[in-house]
Structure 1
C-alpha cells in the first residue's frame, strides 16, 4: 500500500513539473523578437526577458546612455550622452534568480594557459549588476523580470548631482556640490520602463526607462519645470559580440589614440604587464593588393535630422574631410555620411550619429565611442555639436566691423556675419567654423586624442584647438579669410595611416616593423604627437612656437581693442550685448599669454623610444625664455590693460532678464564695470602662471644644472620690477597686489619645496622694499604675513573673467 501511494505521489509530482515547463500563460503580454527577446506585461508594468539555453551560455556587450538630457553645463548629461565604459556581460542562473554579471576585462591572461586564465579571473572581482527573478520556465527557456535592471540609475546621475561640473582655467572638472546642496535620489514610484523606446533587433536589444529624481531641498535648478522633480530617459543597449576577424592594434606612445587598457598576466616578466589596444573601427579592403581600395564595409555616420542648414551641409563636409587621411592609409571612401532614417534612434547601436545638442548655455562639443572592451574595436559613436557654438562665433564676428548706416536687421541666425569681413559672406564664415568643429569631433570618434602641439608645424592637425587666425589689413579692418583651418592636417594623415593601414596577414614582427617605419617617416618630417607636459602642448595657439605666437597675437589684440567701440552697436540691439562681447576682445591674447608662460622654466619632452632618433629631453633655449618673460611682463603694463572711456561707459549691465550670461565679466562693483577686473584677469594668467610651484621648482632645477639658464630669482625679480614700475597707476596697483599676494601664497604653500619657498620669500622682501609707503594696505598685508604666514596668507581675488574658453 505504501509503495503504491509513493508511486502515485511521484507520478503527480512529475506531471506537475512537466506542466510547469511546457505551459505558459501569455495573456496580456506583448512579445518582441530580437537579440534578447522580451515581453511587456502592461498590467504589471514589467519587462520580461526571454533567455534561451543558448543565451544563458553566451557573453554579450552592455552599454548605458542618456536618451534625454538635462541641458545644463553643470552636468555631463545631455541627450545621447554615452555611459562611461562598455561592459562584457553574461547571465547566470542561481536558484530562483538570474544574475547579470559584468566580467572584469581590466585583468587578463590573453595568451596564458586555461589554468592561468582561471587564476586571473578568480583574483579580481566581477560586478553583479542585477538579480532578476525567474517568472516562469518553458522547455529550458527562462522568463525573467528585467524591470529592476532597466529602472535604475545605471548612468549615476545622482553622482553628478553631488559633483557638478565647474570650469577652471579652461578645464572642466567635477567638484563637490557642498554640504548645503540639495540631495537627490531616485524615486522608484515615479520611474518606469518606457516602452515607446524599447525595441529588439537581430543583433541588439534597446531598452529605455523614464527615471524620476527628487529632492526635498530645492536649490539647484537643472532646467526642470518643478524645482523638486527631474525626469530623464535612460537607455540600455545589449549587443551581440562582434564577428571574429578584427585584429587589435597595440598602442604606440608616439601616436595619439584612445584605447582600452588592461593588465596581461600572460606577458613574459621582461615585458610590461600593462597593455593598451587602440580604439578604431574595423576596416577591410575590398582589393587588398591595390594601393587604394574601397572598404568592404565603410564607416557610416548619420546626420541628426534636427540639425539646420547650412550647418547640416557644413557638418557633412567636415566629417568627410577625414577621407583625405584615409587615403593615406590605402582606403578610398572609407567614411560615409547619410541622413538619419526617419524614426531611428541615435542610441540604437546600428546608427552612429552626428547630433545637434541643445543646452541652456554655451558648452562643449564632444565625440564619444562605445567599444568592445576586449579588443578596442569601435562599434558605435555619437558626436555632439553644441548648438550655442554658432552664437559664440557670431559674437566674434559681431565685434569686428561697424554696421552699415543703411543696413536693415537680418532676422536669420547668421545675421551680421557679413560685416565681419567685407570679402567674406556670412554663410562662409559660419560654415567654415562648424565644418572644422565637426571634423575635430569626428577625429575623436575615429579613435584620436587631441594633439595640442600640431600648431607648431603649420596647422598640423584638426585635433588641435586653434585660435581664429585674424589679420589686420592696411586699412585697419579685420581680415578673417583664413580664420579657420579647412581640411585635415599632416598629423591626421600620419595618425590614420598608422592606426588603420594594413597589408593583411602580416606576421606580427613584420607588422611591427612596418608601423615603426610609418612613425619614423613622419617624425623625420617634423610631424609628431606631443607630451601633455611639453611646453608646446597648448590649446588655442597658432604659431611655430609659443614665443613667436605671442609676438604675433599681441599686435592683433591691441588693434582689435582699438576697433571695438560703441559704434559697432546696431540700432535696436540691447546695450548690454556690448559688454557680453567685450571679453572676447579684451582677452583675445589669453591663450597666447598662457602658451608663452609654459615656455618659462621648461624643456621639450616629446614621446620617444630608444633608438628612434627623437630627443627625449631638451631644455628650452634661455634666450627664448627671456624673450617670453619680457613679452609677458609687458602685457602687465597699464597701457596694455587700460580701457578707453567711451568703451567703459558702454559696458552696461544686463536688462531685467531671468538668466545669466556666462560670456560677461562678473564685476565686483556690480552693475558698474571695474577696469581693475580686466587688469586682474590678465594678471591671473601671467602672474599666476609664472608663480606656479612646479614652474618655480623647474627653474631652480634647470639653473642648478646650467648657470646661464633662466632661474627662479630672475623671473621673480622681473615680476617685482614690473609691479613697482607703475605702482601709482590704479591698474599698476592691481598688478602690484597680484605679484605680492601670489608670492605670499607660494611661500606658504606646504606642497612647495623649501627652495621654491625661499625664492618666494626673497621676492616678498623685494616687493616690501619696492612698495614702501605707496600702498599701505599691501604693505600691512606683507608685514602681517611675515609675522605669521600660516594665519595671514592672502587669498588672491578672482578676476570675474568668463570661465572657460571664450572662442
Structure 2
C-alpha cells in the first residue's frame, strides 16, 4: 500500500478494476508462522492522543502492560480500552510478512467501492534506534540471487519505502527481550492514500484527520491479524466552484456534509508462504496477469526482466491419479451481504470454472462456501477469497482483483465485488442522459481499462427492453428471471476468471459466424464466444428471426486452454518445452486466439477483430444488425398508442437506441486502415497483416449508408413530443449535482452527433490516415488498396449529398454533420496537428476546392432561409480556408 509520505494514489484504487492490477513487489525471503490461539477484540475509539511519544522515558515492560489484555496470534497484541500495543521480539524484526488492505466502507461513489481489494505488499518491522520502529515496504522487485557482488549492487540501487513509524514504549522484556510499540500511531495514518484519492476524484483538498479516526476492531489468529479502521477526512471549508488548476470541483453527493467524509479500511497482517511455489513463465499468446521482476544475477542477459503468471497454488493429493482432489482447493466465500435471491447464481458462476480444472486432472478444484450471519470472520480477511455485494449510486461495478506472492506469482487473496445494478438494471432505468455526470463518473474506471460494469449494464438494459417490447419476455415471469440469472452468472464467471489470473480476451467474440450464432444446437455445445473473459453482449435476433440463446452458459474453448496453460501439472524438466507447444496452438486454432486491453485500447486499437461488446466474425454484419435493432426499437415505440408504454422506458429506449450505435460504428470504422495483429514472440509468422482493401471498402460503404446519408436518422416528431423525463429523479439528480442540463427534451441532435462523430473521428484520425498512406509498405501487392483520397472523397460526397439535388432542403441534423465535417477539412488545411501527414492537408484542400463548386451551384436554386444561410456560411468557411496561410503546424 502507499507509504507515508508518497505520491497521490488515486491510480492504486483504479488499477483494481476488473483485475487490472499493478504487479506487486517480489519477495526475498519467506516468513514463518507464529503460534497462538484465535481471539478477537474491539474498541470504540482510538485516535492515539494518549500515545507515548518517542521523547518519553521507556518504562519497564511489565509496568506498561499492567492493565492490558494479552491477545496472542501472528503478532501478540496488548489492548487497553481504545489503545493497542504490538509486541515485537528480536525474531520479528527484519523478517518479511504480507500486508493486505481493503476499502471496507465507502461513500457509494466510484472509485470508492466497499469491499474493494486495494493492495497487497511485502513489509517488515525495522528497528532504527533504541526508541523507534519503522514499518517498511520492501523493495524486492529487483534481485541478484546467487551473485554476491551484484546482490550488493542491487541493495545499493533500490531502496525500501517507509509506511509509518512509531515509538517503542517499553524497555525490553527481561527474558524474551521483546519490546512494545504504539500500534495506534502506526495504523492511524493515511496508509491507503485515500486523501489524495479523494482529492483526485472530487478536486477538493481533503486532509486526513487523525483525531477523529479510530481502530474499530481487531481479530487475531496464528495465521492472520486483522484490523478494522475508520478514517476521517475533512475540508476546513467548502472550496470554490473551481480547484486551484481551474478544474471544476465535484463534491461527494452521498454524505450529509461534504466537508466530512468517513472511509472504512480492513488491514491484514499474515505470514508469507513458507515454501515458495514454483513459478510459471508468462507467454504473450495466453492471457494471464503476471508479476515482473528484474533478475540481475546474470550480467550477460540482454533483458534482466522475468515474468511469472499469477495463479493459485494447486497440487494434487494423489499425483498418480488421472483425476484427484487438490491438497488445498481454491475456496470462495459468498459474503453474507449477497442477497439470498442471487446466492445460487453466484455459486454457479464460480463453479463454472471447475470444468476447466477437471480437464487437467483436478476434481473440485474450486469450492464455494456461504458465510453465515453469525460468522466470526470477515470475508475481507486474506484467508478468505470472496464474492461480495456493493450498492452505490453511480458505480456500475464488477471487479475481480487479486494479490500475489511476487517470488512466484502465487495468488494469495482475491475478492470479487459486484454491484446491485446487474440485477436491479432490468427493473430500473439506467442513466442515458447526455451529457451526464453519472456517465462522467465512470471515466476513472474506464481509464483503468475496465468499462465492463458500466457498458454491460447498459447493454443488458437495452436487450431486456427490446425483448419486453417484442413479447419474448414478460416482466416478472420465470423466463425474465432466468434471463437475469443467465446474465448474472456470466458476470460472476468473468470476474472469477480474473481472480484465477486471467486477463481480458477481446478477440474471443470473433470465434463464430453469424449463422452459427443463430443456431441453438451449435450455441448449446460451443457458446456464443470462445471465452467468458471477453465483454460479451446479448445474442439478440432480428425481428422475424427465430430466437437463439441469449447468453453464454459455459466456459469457452479459450478458457479451457488458458487454464490448462496456467495450472496443468508439468514435469519441471520439460515444462518450458511443453508450455511453448501448448501456447503455439493459439496460432492455428481460431477459438484460441488472444488479444487483451493493450490490443483493444478501449476500442481505439488498430485491429478490427479486437473489440468490446461485439459478436461474430463479421463486424460489418454486427454493425448492420445493430442499426436494424435500433430502428426496430424506435419504430415499435412510435407505433404504440399514447400511454401504453411507460414513459421513462420509452425515453430510455429511444436515447439508448441512438447512443448505442456509437461503439459499434467505431468498431466497424477500425477496418478502414486496419491492421490485424497476433501475439507472436518469434518470426515464425507475420505479426501484422493489413485488412484487405475490399473489406475496407465494404466497411466504408456500410458506414456511409447507415450514418452519413440524408435519411440515416429519422425519429417521428410525434414520438419526440411524448417522451417526458422522470421529473422526480431528474430534480433529485440536479440537487445532487448529477446533471449538467435540465433541458426536458430528448437531446436527439446531440445523440445523433455523438454517433456520427465517433465514426468520423476514427476515420480521419491521424492514426488512420497515416496507416492508409503507409499501407503499401505492408502489402506485397499495393494495387487496389483503399486510398486516403478515395475515402475523403466518398465521405465528402455522402455528407453533402443534398448539393446534388437542386433546391433540396437540409435539416438540422444534417447541417450539424456538415458543419462538423467542414470543420475537419478546413482544420486539416489551416491547423494541422503535429501528427497529421502532409498528404492529408493537400487532399483536404482538393476536397474543399471541389466542395466550393458544388456549394456555388446549389446556391443558384431557391432554398428556405435556414438552408440558404447554412450554405452561404459553408461557402464562406471554404473560401477562408483556401485563402488562409498555414497558421500552425505542430
In structure 1, what is the Cα distance between the partners aligned to 2:505 and 2:752? 31
**Residue 833 of structure 2 is aligned to residue 749 of structure 1:** yes
The residue number in structure 1 matching 2:183 is 146
1:530 to 586, 595, 604: 595
**Residue 214 of structure 2 is aligned to residue 192 of structure 1:** yes
1:314-353 to structure 2, matched below 5 A, reads: 314-341=345-372, 342-353=375-386
The residue number in structure 1 matching 2:745 is 672
- What's the CA shift string for 1:325-367, capped at 9, x where partnerless? 1123322211111112434312111111111111112523111
Relative distance call for 1:694 and 1:444 in structure 2 (3 A) is: same
1:710-789 to structure 2, matched below 5 A, reads: 710-726=786-802, 728-745=810-827, 747-772=831-856, 774=868, 775=870, 776-784=872-880
Shift of 1:189: 1.6
The residue number in structure 2 matching 1:419 is 474
The residue number in structure 2 matching 1:503 is 570
The residue number in structure 1 matching 2:415 is 382
Relative distance call for 1:432 and 1:480 in structure 2 (3 A) is: farther
**Residue 251 of structure 2 is aligned to residue 212 of structure 1:** no
The residue number in structure 2 matching 1:201 is 221
SS of the aligned residue for 1:520 comes to helix
In structure 2, what is the Cα distance between the partners aligned to 1:354 and 1:309? 13
Relative distance call for 1:371 and 1:733 in structure 2 (3 A) is: same
In structure 2, what is the Cα distance between the partners aligned to 1:471 and 1:217? 52
The residue number in structure 2 matching 1:610 is 682
Structure 1, unpaired ranges of 5+: 1-18, 165-176, 405-415, 794-807
In structure 1, what is the Cα distance between the partners aligned to 2:541 and 2:411? 41
1:366 to 387, 399, 407: 399
In structure 2, what is the Cα distance between the partners aligned to 1:626 and 1:420? 43
| 8 Å Cα contact 1:292/1:331 also seen in 2 | yes
| 8 Å Cα contact 1:398/1:419 also seen in 2 | no
In structure 2, what is the Cα distance between the partners aligned to 1:492 and 1:661? 45
The residue number in structure 1 matching 2:5 is none
Aligned residues: 731
| 8 Å Cα contact 1:251/1:278 also seen in 2 | yes
| 8 Å Cα contact 1:597/1:686 also seen in 2 | yes
The residue number in structure 1 matching 2:197 is 160
In structure 2, what is the Cα distance between the partners aligned to 1:355 and 1:568? 43
The residue number in structure 2 matching 1:465 is 535
Shift of 1:225: 1.4
The residue number in structure 2 matching 1:101 is 136
The residue number in structure 1 matching 2:22 is none
Shift of 1:617: 1.6
Shift of 1:620: 0.8
1:528-567 to structure 2, matched below 5 A, reads: 528-530=593-595, 532=599, 533=605, 534-565=607-638, 567=640
**Residue 490 of structure 2 is aligned to residue 436 of structure 1:** yes
1:641 to 704, 713, 720: 713
1:232 to 258, 263, 269: 263
SS of the aligned residue for 1:23 comes to helix
TM-score (norm 2): 0.77
With 345-354 and 744-753 compared, the bigger mean Cα shift is at 744-753
SS of the aligned residue for 2:293 comes to strand
2:654 to 582, 588, 608: 582
In structure 1, what is the Cα distance between the partners aligned to 2:786 and 2:645? 54
Relative distance call for 1:758 and 1:156 in structure 2 (3 A) is: farther
The residue number in structure 2 matching 1:13 is none
The residue number in structure 2 matching 1:24 is 63
| 8 Å Cα contact 1:369/1:445 also seen in 2 | yes
SS of the aligned residue for 1:64 comes to strand
| 8 Å Cα contact 1:355/1:383 also seen in 2 | yes
The residue number in structure 2 matching 1:263 is 294
The residue number in structure 2 matching 1:82 is 117
Shift of 1:124: 1.2
| 8 Å Cα contact 1:285/1:293 also seen in 2 | yes
Relative distance call for 1:570 and 1:79 in structure 2 (3 A) is: farther
**Residue 439 of structure 2 is aligned to residue 400 of structure 1:** no
| 8 Å Cα contact 1:642/1:731 also seen in 2 | no
In structure 1, what is the Cα distance between the partners aligned to 2:746 and 2:279? 57
The residue number in structure 1 matching 2:784 is 708
| 8 Å Cα contact 1:461/1:488 also seen in 2 | yes
Structure 2, unpaired ranges of 5+: 1-57, 240-249, 428-460, 513-528, 600-604, 804-809, 860-867
The residue number in structure 1 matching 2:431 is none
SS of the aligned residue for 1:284 comes to coil
Shift of 1:188: 1.8
2:310 to 279, 288, 305: 279
SS of the aligned residue for 1:241 comes to coil
TM-score (norm 1): 0.84
SS of the aligned residue for 2:93 comes to helix
Shift of 1:782: 4.8
Shift of 1:397: 5.0
The residue number in structure 2 matching 1:653 is 725
Shift of 1:762: 4.3
In structure 1, what is the Cα distance between the partners aligned to 2:854 and 2:257? 57
| 8 Å Cα contact 1:48/1:146 also seen in 2 | yes
| 8 Å Cα contact 2:530/2:556 also seen in 1 | yes
SS of the aligned residue for 2:562 comes to helix
Relative distance call for 1:124 and 1:528 in structure 2 (3 A) is: same
The residue number in structure 2 matching 1:515 is 579
SS of the aligned residue for 2:357 comes to helix
**Residue 166 of structure 2 is aligned to residue 128 of structure 1:** no
| 8 Å Cα contact 1:256/1:450 also seen in 2 | yes
- What's the CA shift string for 1:439-461, capped at 9, x where partnerless? 00011110111000001113010
With 147-156 and 543-552 compared, the bigger mean Cα shift is at 543-552
**Residue 370 of structure 2 is aligned to residue 299 of structure 1:** no
- What's the CA shift string for 1:497-525, capped at 9, x where partnerless? 00111134x22xx1011111112234322
1:795-806 to structure 2, matched below 5 A, reads: none
SS of the aligned residue for 2:733 comes to coil
With 385-394 and 139-148 compared, the bigger mean Cα shift is at 385-394
Relative distance call for 1:451 and 1:222 in structure 2 (3 A) is: same
With 548-557 and 301-310 compared, the bigger mean Cα shift is at 548-557
Shift of 1:87: 3.2
Relative distance call for 1:289 and 1:524 in structure 2 (3 A) is: farther
Relative distance call for 1:40 and 1:594 in structure 2 (3 A) is: same
In structure 2, what is the Cα distance between the partners aligned to 1:403 and 1:760? 46
In structure 2, what is the Cα distance between the partners aligned to 1:732 and 1:403? 30
Relative distance call for 1:466 and 1:647 in structure 2 (3 A) is: farther
The residue number in structure 2 matching 1:68 is 105
| 8 Å Cα contact 2:733/2:739 also seen in 1 | no
| 8 Å Cα contact 1:325/1:497 also seen in 2 | yes
In structure 1, what is the Cα distance between the partners aligned to 2:85 and 2:617? 61
| 8 Å Cα contact 2:463/2:538 also seen in 1 | no
The residue number in structure 1 matching 2:762 is 689
| 8 Å Cα contact 2:190/2:208 also seen in 1 | yes
Relative distance call for 1:33 and 1:770 in structure 2 (3 A) is: farther
- What's the CA shift string for 1:204-258, capped at 9, x where partnerless? 2112321111111156124111121010112222110113151111110111111
| 8 Å Cα contact 2:99/2:120 also seen in 1 | no
With 134-143 and 705-714 compared, the bigger mean Cα shift is at 705-714
SS of the aligned residue for 2:800 comes to helix
In structure 1, what is the Cα distance between the partners aligned to 2:878 and 2:80? 73
- What's the CA shift string for 1:291-324, capped at 9, x where partnerless? 3222111100011222224322111111111111
| 8 Å Cα contact 1:398/1:420 also seen in 2 | no
Shift of 1:434: 0.2
**Residue 554 of structure 2 is aligned to residue 487 of structure 1:** yes
CA RMSD for the aligned pairs? 3.0
In structure 2, what is the Cα distance between the partners aligned to 1:83 and 1:629? 44
Bigger relative contact order, structure 1 or 2, given CA contacts below 8 A and separation 6+?
2
| 8 Å Cα contact 1:89/1:101 also seen in 2 | yes
Relative distance call for 1:134 and 1:516 in structure 2 (3 A) is: same
